[in-house]
Structure 1
Amino acid sequence: MEVDPPPIEPYTYGLLSVAQVVTGDGRWQMGGVEYSTDACAQGGRVEGSCPVPADGGGTSHDKPLAESLDWVTGGAPFTVYHRAECNAVAFTDPQERALARLRVVEHREVEKAFSLQLGAADARQPLGTAAVPLLVALGALEHNAALYYGGQPTLHAPRWTQPHWTAARLVSQQGPELRTELESRVAFGGGYYDDPSAPADPAPAEGEFWLYATGTVTARRSQPFVHEAFDPPTNTRVAIAERTYALDHDCYVAAVLVTVAPAGGGA
């Protein structure tokens, strides 16, 4: 006897749980977005409250040019899809079946795309390329973000690393999100690669992964849409459900190589 499948629990604590999700069609679907931001502005300071003449001209309060406005170019649009295909006999709702399948896979596929964007970014490496324990890596990124980004960073880690964070009490639940003690958002992506710069390769070494920190992530996405067709010679109905995305993160991105292997002294 055929019965309905069991319900699927919603995907939690991945990229879309920490991103600003904007749903709706727009020109961004043609080529993504770009915007100017002051979030990575670097100013300075002067000593005292009164200028003091300098020997070489000017005063002690002459202020050199500081970094300010940045232009952010988001990732190119991409489309996540799934299909449903079956004999037309008793196949009454292929569009709904295709949409249900799309909902199952889209979180993972979006995370794969964003992970590749991180791998292609010119990320700061505050600790170089040496693998360090998770506690050291988290502290380095939280500190680096405070120096170079004006807001709370978002951290990105492969989903298999989550038990190490929990064992070390590094994250806590705040509504639908997980955050560090300093309230940085944390995404545990099932689609994140251990090494986003070489996604076809295995992890750099057993128990190692790249931990990334970015500025605020925005996920623009269209409404899901479905195309349906019928093939008379085979009496087949097919429906393809799709949704277009474009992802960007604010001006900051940094990465630290983490080891959680016992020999590496992981947390």
Structure 2
Amino acid sequence: MTAPSTYLPVQYDAPPVNPPTDGLYLAATMLDRTGPDRLLSGVDIWSMNCATGWGTWDVEPCADPGVDDLKDGERASVLTTFAPLTVWGYDQCDPTEDPAEITARALQNVRLHEQNLVETHFATRILADAGAPTAAADLVAAIGELEVQIGDAAIPGVIHLSRRYAAALDAAGVIVGSGPIPRTRLGTALAFGSGYDVVLGTTLVATGPVTVFRSEIFQQDTLSPDENLRAAIAERTVVASYECLATAVEIGGTP
């Protein structure tokens, strides 16, 4: 009988797995565009949900309205253009490798890591737009403060925060409901992003509705005779955007 030590290792091709189903992409409206990539110059959001043309009026018909009581208002201004991000995946092997295998691996790389990369990019934008964060004593107080700001804006809000807080909010009974999107009791969506932690840290940012635009995936393989390898890339353009509101709260920050 052959000794076990002389056996060759079992060769197992691990199947491709799906990326996480939480975070920014779960809470956002996803718009996948076909045709030429027109996202390279970014996206401008013209919102119908952030205007100032609303208020109350004295029911006394002969009341003299003050200057501040006149019925007027402004349409929402267009926020600074949301910048595009190119996300890519890469793989290489020797020229005898099946090009389809190399391309499939490049596609899987971009598929798995796209959302994290976009979250990190988007976190930088919303943190800058939110300005100096308000201080909150703890995590639950931070959620409460942000929900006040969302309520004042009268829009469906999204709270962007690190995945590190998901277990604590669940234990505190903040996350309720059985739908796919984690929500507070008031229905605010919680986007627990893996890519948020490196930028946001202990800061939580609330925005209005979020839309993510994505181009088609461009893929190509090429042969490099000088290096004796075949390489493949897969990439797409992504723009993450929001409407109306950007406000931040820092847990344990200085009042």
TM-score interval, normalised by the smaller of the two chains: 0.7 to 0.9
CA distance in 1, matches of 2:241, 2:75: 19
The reply on whether 1:214 has 2:219 as its aligned counterpart is: no
CA contact (8 A) 2:19 2:111 kept: no
Q: Distance in 2 between matches of 1:73 and 1:52?
A: 41
Aligned positions, number:
242
Q: Quote the Cα distance in structure 1 between the aligned partners of 2:219 and 2:18.
A: 23
Deviation at residue 234 of structure 1 after TM alignment: 2.9
Superposed, which structure 2 residues align to 1:23-34 within 5 Å?
23-25=32-34, 28-34=38-44
Give the aligned partner of residue 111 of structure 1.
119
Distance (whole Å) between structure 1 residues aligned to residue 196 and residue 128 of structure 2: 14
Q: Specify whether residues 7 and 118 from structure 1 end up closer, same or farther in structure 2 by C-alpha distance, changes over 3 A only.
A: same
Equivalent residues in 2 for 1:121-136 (5 A)? 121-123=129-131, 125=133, 128=134, 130-136=135-141
Match of 2:30 in 1: 21
Hey, what's the Cα distance between the residues in 1 that align with 2:38 and 2:191? 24
1:73-152 correspondence to structure 2 within 5 Å: 73-93=80-100, 94-123=102-131, 125=133, 128=134, 130-147=135-152, 149-152=153-156
Aligned-pair RMSD on alpha carbons? 2.5
Structure 1 residue runs of 5 or longer lacking an equivalent are 197-202, 204-208, 261-267
Q: Would the alpha carbon gap of residues 34 and 174 (structure 1) be closer, same or farther in structure 2, given more than 3 Å must change? A: farther
TM-score (norm 1): 0.81
Matching residue of 1:170: 174
Note the C-alpha offset of 1:49: 3.6
- Counterpart AA for 1:169: G
Deviates most, 64-73 or 244-253: 64-73
Distance in structure 2 (CA, Å) of the matches to 1:78 and 1:61: 43
Task: Using the TM superposition, give the Cα deviation of residue 60 of structure 1 relative to its aligned residue in structure 2, in angstroms.
Answer: 8.7
Q: Distance in 2 between matches of 1:60 and 1:239?
A: 65
- Structure 1 residues 131 and 181: CA distance shift in structure 2, 3 A: closer
Hey, what does 1:200 align to over in structure 2?
none
The whole-number CA distance in structure 1 between the counterparts of 2:31 and 2:162 is: 24
Question: In structure 2, do the counterparts of structure 1 residues 44 and 83 end up closer, same or farther at CA, with 3 Å as the change threshold?
Answer: same
2:195 paired with 1:191:
yes
Structure 2 gaps, min length 5 = 1-9
Code of the aligned partner of 2:232:
A
The answer as to 2:80 corresponding to 1:69 is no
Larger strand fraction of residues: 1
Q: Distance in 1 between matches of 2:218 and 2:83?
A: 19
Contact 2:204–2:248, Cα closer than 8 Å, also in 1: yes
TM-score norm. by structure 2 comes to 0.85
Name the stretch that deviates more: 17-26 or 116-125.
Answer: 116-125
Whole-angstrom distance in 1 between the partners of 2:68 and 2:234: 61
